[in-house]
């Protein structure tokens, strides 16, 4: 049960950010999508080697049944991208690789929009909400390719897992002017002066600061 509470940290943070925006009555055309799914064994559960056809039409080879989160997130991104959108933000407790790279307190973010990255970094420093830009290194894009589908949901080798996950998601956003992906932990492992053990807000203070200034 503790693991599942951690795994919904991305969704919890997105809803927290949405509540902040609505409470402040920011003049933003806001749309919130929270993809959720029952993660349990059943007769029609995924099996390794299955081919999944996504909402966007891209086919995905299932090479790890525990990498199901990126499948529903990809469909949500594709759905969001069907309308003319200025900025798509996604947040997910997606990979352990992000925590290995930066630890639990420094969430990485991925975007190919340099201006957006600078604005996020400036807002992060302004409100003391730490985050760190990680590269969408296209040299690893080949690692999510597979012979019998458009993509694999889990590249072999285990290297650069947070980057390849971000590159996977990037395939599902083609129309939006800007997109940013946060691979957050969203969990405080020990009690602190300002918060108990449990769910933790990460990156949403910086995002709110940026949006409240009328940027992006």
* 88-109 residue pLDDT tens: 999 999 999 999 999 999 999 9
Q: Residue 9 pLDDT more than 60? A: yes
Residues in contact with 39: Cβ distance below 8 Å, sequence separation at least 6, in sequence order: 4, 68
Query: Average pLDDT, stretch 66-85?
Result: 94
Question: Domain limits of the chain?
Answer: 2-28+49-212
pTM of the prediction?
0.93
- In sequence order, what DSSP letters do the residues of the chain get, joined into one string? -HHHHHHTHHHHHHHHHHHHHHHHT-S------------S--TT---TT-EEE-TTS-EEE-S-TT--HHHHHHHHHHHHTTS--SEEEEEE---HHHHHHH-TTS-EEE-S-HHHHHHHHHHHHHTT---EE----GGGGGGG-BTTBSEESS-TT-TTHHHHHHHHHHTT--SSSEEEEEE---EESS-BTTB-SEE---SHHHHHHHHHTT--
Assess whether pLDDT exceeds 50 at residue 187.
yes
pLDDT of 144 reads 97
pLDDT at 215: 61
Distances (CA, A) of 134 to 45, 75, 185, 188, 197: 33, 23, 15, 22, 27
Closest CA to 84 of 7, 153, 174: 174
Predicted local confidence at residue 178, as pLDDT: 97
What the block records as the tokens of 169 is 């998601």
Instruction: Name the residue among 30, 27, 8 with its Cα closest to residue 18.
Output: 30
- CATH of segment(s) 2-28+49-212: 3.40.630.10
Average model confidence (pLDDT) for the chain?
A: 93
The stretch 114-127 carries a mean pLDDT of 98
Q: Is the pLDDT of residue 3 over 60?
A: no
Rounded to an integer, the average pLDDT of 23-49 is 90
Predicted pLDDT of residue 191: 85
**Mean pLDDT score, 180-200:** 87
């Amino acid at each position: 049960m503790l693991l599942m509470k951690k795994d919904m940290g991305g969704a919890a943070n997105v809803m927290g950010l949405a509540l902040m925006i609505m409470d402040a009555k920011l003049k933003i055309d806001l749309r919130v999508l929270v993809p959720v799914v029952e993660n349990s064994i059943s007769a029609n559960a995924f099996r390794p080697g299955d081919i999944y056809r996504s909402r966007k039409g891209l086919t995905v080879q299932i090479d790890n049944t525990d990498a199901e989160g990126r499948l529903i997130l990809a469909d949500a991104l594709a759905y969001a991208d069907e309308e003319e959108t200025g900025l798509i933000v996604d947040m997910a407790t997606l990979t352990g690789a992000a925590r290995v790279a930066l630890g639990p307190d420094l969430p990485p973010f991925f975007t190919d929009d340099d201006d957006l990255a600078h604005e996020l970094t400036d807002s992060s420093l302004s409100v003391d909400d730490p985050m760190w830009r990680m590269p969408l290194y296209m040299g690893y894009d080949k690692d999510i390719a597979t012979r019998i589908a458009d993509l694999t949901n889990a590249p072999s080798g285990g290297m650069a897992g947070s980057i390849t996950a971000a590159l996977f998601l990037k395939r599902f956003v083609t129309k939006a002017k800007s997109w940013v992906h946060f691979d957050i932990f969203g969990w405080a492992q020990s009690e602190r002066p300002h918060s108990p053990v449990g769910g933790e807000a990460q990156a949403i203070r910086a995002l709110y600061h940026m949006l409240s200034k009328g940027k992006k």
